[in-house]
Amino acid sequence: MKHSALNPEYFVNRELGLLAFNRRVLAQAENANTPLLERLKFLCIFSSNMDEFFEVRVAGLKQQIEYNASVTEADGLLPKQVFAKVSREAHALVESQYKTLNDVVLPLLKQQNIFFFRRTHWNEAQSAWIRDYFFRELMPILTPIGLDPAHPFPRVLNKSLNFAVELEGNDAFGRKSGIAIVQAPRALPRVIHLPEEIAGCADGFVFLSSILHAHVHELFSGMQIKGCYQFRVTRNSELTVEDEDFTDLKLALKDELTQRQLGDAVRLEVADNCSPEMTAFLLEQFKLKKEDLYQVNGLVNLVRLMQVPEWVDRPDLKYPHYTPSQPRELSKSADIFSAIRRQDILLHHPFQSFNPVIEFIKQAAEDPHVLAIKQTFYRTSADSTLMQSLIEAAQKGKEVTVVVELMARFDEEANINWAAKLENAGAHVTYGVVGHKTHCKLALVVRREDDKLVRYVHLSTGNYHQRTARLYTDFGLLTCAEAICEDVSDVFAQLTGLGKASHLHHLWQSPFTLHRNLIAAIAREAELAKSGKKARVIAKMNALLDPDIIRALYDASKAGVQIDLIVRGVCALKPGIPGVSENIRVRSIVGRFLEHTRIFYFYNNQAEDVYLSSADWMYRNFFRRIEVCVPILDAKVKKRIIKEGLEFYLKDNTNAWEMLPDSTYRQLPARRNITFSAQQQLMTTYGQGVTFNADK
């Protein structure tokens, strides 16, 4: 079907779909069943999501508008139209966020003796302690800037906390400015945990903004303070490193990173007490318009409240502690390679521990029989044990090859640092293919056994990141199946060398075969349905945006294929449209853990083909990234994935949101007072050390 043959009304705009997802995140903070401190966390997560939304998506829209771009996506909306809709929805969401914070979460915290003391309510002891704190910790490092011809408006860093101060009077040099800017150093905490004897409770906090407001006059001796207003600007943070611009990607990227903090402004946040004159002045300085202004009732940087739940020792106000279990397959032997030789091992994070992945690389680094280790990295932690093991392996003389994706958004600097450490240790470090982000999650170990070389691989839907492995749901597969290992080896050869794309036996790969093979698999189900046979597609992913895939799904639906899509974030497809998508159902799961698994299921005339992938169904994943999609060959592993990764999530009526034909979402009600949560079921199963029986 041609692009023009489909009505644009059959597609959801990407930006609006992302805001719809963030509304579902915000709903977790609004939900009375969410533990109180977790509700505060979700408010912070929502803020962080919105920051990135403006830094990337809104920034892109503004550039398109500036260049007078008339190109539309499948939804048919022009950039100006999208921006107008986005602005209305974003303002409404932010208003709901602060209403939830001020009217619900903070009062409930107060009932639990968790206080955020406002400066108008400090008692004498608190005022004295805070005054001492200001002079001891803040005053020495603050640099107030009075605006005059010698002191122009300062370069305000992206998302930094700042204060605009209205002044009256002349300073020591006789200067009369009227306006000064105070930038809060990023090293300073935004929330201060007061000592218990000062707070009068175990958990009393004061905002940095309150301390500065109370003592800002100390920075401007002899002048009258007419007003002090916190503000924050969000800037375009998308890096633009083009092929023809450099000969060394790492050096070019370092240059770009220095400019990220000072990109074009896209949003201005100010406290709602900011005077109209100061608001207009700030908008003018950042070349922003009224629709770019977000006046909020409270802190302009809620993300920094994320520390508070960690500081408060109140398990009763948090999710119950959960310890992931070790896979039963690995309990029989300390040697991970012998365990993999016995059978494929499926890891379901965070319900099962990430430690086996760490152990896989650690043992490979220490094993004298291991000759080579190859691994891709897209995102990893600053204290990555995996990276350290690779460094040690290289230092021991093993052949270590690491493909580090330098263009992983917001992780570029960390990846550059790790790349340097690996190179210094003697590892072979490459940066993938220019123009194609290396997003696949692969690790390959080559080991000498009985005078022959044996390969072992780990493939994953998620990143090699120890921290997020406790927060994101992902599947990982450890196998020594030769056909899979050979394909993985060929992918590494593509990433590090030159040559034509080799034929892979089992893996589907972007940018070569993944897109067309998915469309072919969907079309095959359509043909089976037309012949009167059972046809079914189930897919779980983070985002569904590719128009060609959506058209294929619409065609399959019209042929009678039953299609269930579990899409955490933005879904551009609309289900339930008469004559178009009547047989398609779309749901989104938003709960304690971030859903991150990508699973593709095709009934295929009873064969039940199951694939795990690093790729979402988006144009970028199909054509601008290097991704892999691995078939599950082991029957027991396949049953586990179907049960745990798909059936549980289709049964969920606790954290599930159903997409309606008009692209809005409604939270699914419990049926007959029977609730089922996929995440809770998996925690119950694996938290007790019980392994799912695939035969049941």
Annotated catalytic sites, by residue? 439
> φ, ψ for residue 695 (rounded to 5)?
-85, -10
Q: Measure the CA–CA gap between 324 and 470, rounded to whole angstroms.
A: 8
Residues 6+ apart with CB under 8 A from 593: 350, 471, 472, 473, 679
β pairing state of 584-589 and 203-207: unpaired
Q: Taking a C-beta distance cutoff of 8 angstroms, is the pair 295, 274 a contact?
A: yes
Q: How many C-beta neighbours within 10 Å does residue 321 have?
A: 7
Q: What is the DSSP letter of 287?
A: T
Alpha-carbon dihedral angle through residues 483, 485, 489, 490, given to the nearest 10 degrees: 20
What token pair was written down for 684?
């119950």
Amino acid, res. 47: S
In DSSP notation, 370-426 reads EEEEEEEESS--TT-HHHHHHHHHHHTT-EEEEEE-TT-TT-HHHHHHHHHHHHHHT
Number of H helices, E strands in the chain: 22, 27
Q: Taking a C-beta distance cutoff of 8 angstroms, is the pair 47, 302 a contact?
A: yes
Return the CA Rg of the chain.
27
Please provide the distance, in angstroms rounded to a whole number, between the alpha carbons at the two ends of the chain.
42
Query: What does each C-alpha distance from 334 to 270, 281, 339, 446, 496 come to in angstroms?
Result: 57, 66, 8, 19, 33
Q: How many C-beta neighbours within 10 Å does residue 642 have?
A: 18
Alpha-carbon dihedral angle through residues 609, 659, 51, 299, given to the nearest 10 degrees: -140
* Residue whose pair of structure tokens reads 């470090």 in the numeric block: 429
β pairing state of 452-460 and 441-449: antiparallel
Q: What is the DSSP letter of 504?
A: P
> φ, ψ for residue 340 (rounded to 5)?
-70, -35
Closest C-alpha among 17, 11, 24, 19 to residue 589: 24
Q: Measure the CA–CA gap between 632 and 639, rounded to whole angstroms.
A: 10
Cross-strand partners of 522: none
Burial status of residue 399 (CB atoms within 10 A of its CB: 0-12, 13-18, 19 or more): middle
In DSSP notation, 426-492 reads T-EEE--BTTBEE--EEEEEEEEETTEEEEEEEEESS-S-TTGGGTEEEEEEEE--HHHHHHHHHHH
Cross-strand partners of 293: 268
> φ, ψ for residue 47 (rounded to 5)?
-60, -45
Amino acid, res. 264: D
In DSSP notation, 633-686 reads --HHHHHHIIIIIIIHHHH--SSEEEEPTTS-EEEPPPBTTB---HHHHHHHHH
